């Protein structure tokens, strides 16, 4: 356990040293929210849409963006570790490579906390506070935590695929990113009903849309449904990730990566 804590500490220090990258990411986050604040001003003109006010939509966008920005491009770091030989090198060390990159990924959570802080200040400035109950906020934070862990596992899974296809895994993440982008600023209710059904089938629906929707319009039934879906999704992704990792280890031992 101490080994993985050491990896986490090292990763946090490395992230703190890359101040320029951190500020550029936070700046992009702020610009996105400001752009959509202006957009909803123009579209709504003081009215509501599908039960959402401008206050709801801005806080929805902030929450969705916080999740979307979590572990931003972490899959590239995983792919680089594999291509650079770190994966092969780790096979001879007294630690599990998969556990190591999960620990290093978790070490990036402070960036997510910073997004929450920046988003909260931005939301208060733009539209003021949102009325949320203590129960609703606690449940939403629980859903967000699981959603973020799903994103971490997806990043690692995509990065691990580079064992077979090299670093050309960006196209895979691009597809996942596009599915997340659908709900990054727009709740499901704002789409035509004909489109809502297929959108509900997307794996990113309960990772981006549901946590953000719960935050602005909390519902016990939506929480229970989302919690079950996310736990099942996380279990499936972890299982697939474990299988991919074990096959990768076998490929490394037999052929070399």
Which pLDDT belongs to residue 14?
Answer: 65
Q: Any bridge partners for residue 154, and if so which?
A: none
Residue with tokens 């092969």: 88
Domain that holds residue 233: 2-254
Tens-binned pLDDT, residue by residue, of the chain (257 aa): 676 677 677 766 666 666 566 777 888 888 888 888 888 778 777 778 778 888 888 899 898 888 888 877 788 888 888 887 777 776 777 777 888 888 888 887 777 888 889 999 999 998 888 888 888 889 988 998 898 888 888 888 988 888 887 767 777 777 777 777 766 667 888 888 888 887 777 767 778 888 888 898 888 898 998 898 889 888 988 999 999 888 888 877 766 55
Which pLDDT belongs to residue 18?
Answer: 63
Domain count, the chain: 1
Is 74 in contact with 105 (CB distance < 8 Å)? yes
The four Cα atoms 17, 23, 28, 34 give a dihedral, to 10 degrees, of 150
Return the HEC string of 28-63.
HHHHHHHHHHHHHHHHHCCCCECCECHHHHHHHHHH
CA distance 19 to 131: 34
């Amino acid at each position: 356990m101490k080994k993985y804590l050491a990896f986490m500490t090292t990763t946090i220090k490395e992230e703190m040293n890359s101040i320029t990258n951190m500020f550029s990411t936070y700046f992009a986050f702020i610009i996105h929210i400001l752009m959509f604040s202006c957009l909803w001003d123009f579209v709504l003109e003081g009215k509501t849409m599908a039960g959402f006010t401008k206050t709801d939509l801005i806080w929805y966008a902030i929450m969705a963006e916080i999740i979307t920005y979590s572990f931003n491009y972490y899959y590239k770091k995983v792919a680089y570790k594999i291509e650079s030989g770190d994966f092969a090198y780790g096979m001879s060390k007294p630690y599990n490579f998969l556990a190591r990159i999960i620990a290093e990924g978790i070490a990036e959570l402070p960036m997510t906390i910073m997004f929450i802080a920046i988003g909260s200040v931005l939301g208060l400035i733009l539209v003021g506070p949102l009325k949320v109950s203590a129960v609703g906020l606690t449940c939403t934070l629980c859903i967000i935590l699981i959603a973020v862990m799903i994103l971490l596992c997806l990043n690692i899974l995509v990065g691990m695929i580079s064992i077979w296809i090299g670093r050309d895994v960006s196209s895979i993440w691009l597809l996942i990113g596009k599915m997340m982008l659908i709900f990054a600023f727009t709740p499901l209710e704002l789409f035509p009903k004909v489109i809502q059904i297929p959108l509900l089938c997307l794996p990113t629906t309960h990772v981006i849309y549901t946590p953000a929707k719960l935050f602005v319009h909390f519902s016990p039934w939506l929480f229970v449904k989302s919690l079950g879906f996310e736990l099942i999704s996380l279990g499936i992704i972890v299982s697939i990730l474990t299988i991919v990792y074990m096959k990768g280890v076998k490929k490394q031992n037999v052929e070399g990566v």
